[in-house]
């Protein structure tokens, strides 16, 4: 009897372990960001073309409206000293992705050290965020690039906060958000 009980327990454990191995995990993956390559000629010409849309691209506070993707890619431009927010929340793609392409420059010469531009993708429901930073060389004061935010919750909406150091040095930014 003891021998058959051990077999039954062993069999139950083997079945439980094989089931655990074969069932995909449900653990949430955390949002991430990575640099992407962009075509800056397209970015700059797109922004000039869409500046006629009368969209207020950036604000000093968190957005209350959601961008309607049927209107297409979102384009914006901002001049700021410390930080700005996107004026819209954005629903990620069905793959949980949002992209931001940007081109910007300091409007006056910055100190002799390189500086950074930080883009935060912030959940509108709970305030959690994923941050990405790039370096702006002091030699030119200009930066161009793109970032992919991924593993985002597809049922959530996200907005962007873009910041930089040196509040006494104004910065001009052109950007687009797409998915």
Q: What is the pLDDT of residues 82-116, one digit of tens each?
A: 888 998 999 999 999 999 999 999 998 888 788 88
Query: What is the rounded distance in angstroms from the CA atom of residue 82 to the CA atom of residue 58?
Result: 13
Do residues 65 and 87 lie in contact, with contact meaning Cβ atoms separated by under 8 Å?
yes
Q: CA-to-CA distance for 159 and 53, rounded, in angstroms?
A: 20
Q: Which domains does the chain have, with CATH numbers?
A: 31-178 (2.60.120.340)
- Percent of all residues in the chain with a pLDDT value above 70, rounded to a whole number: 70
Average pLDDT, the chain: 77
pTM listed for this prediction: 0.71
């Amino acid at each position: 009897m003891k021998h058959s009980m051990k077999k039954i327990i062993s069999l139950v454990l083997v079945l439980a372990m094989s089931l655990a191995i074969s069932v995909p995990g449900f653990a949430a993956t955390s949002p991430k960001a990575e640099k992407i390559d962009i075509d800056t000629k397209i970015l700059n010409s797109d922004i000039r073309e869409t500046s006629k849309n009368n969209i207020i691209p950036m604000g000093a506070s968190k957005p209350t409206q959601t961008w309607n993707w049927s209107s297409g890619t979102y384009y914006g431009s901002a001049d700021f000293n410390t930080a700005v927010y996107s004026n819209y929340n954005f629903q990620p793609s069905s793959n949980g992705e949002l992209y931001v392409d940007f081109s910007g420059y300091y409007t006056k010469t910055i100190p002799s050290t390189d500086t950074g531009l930080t883009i935060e993708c912030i959940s509108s429901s709970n305030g959690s965020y994923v941050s990405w930073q790039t370096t702006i060389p002091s030699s030119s004061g200009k930066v161009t690039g793109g970032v992919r935010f991924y593993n985002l919750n597809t049922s959530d909406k996200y907005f962007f906060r873009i910041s930089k150091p040196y509040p006494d040095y104004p910065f001009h930014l052109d950007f687009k958000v797409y998915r």
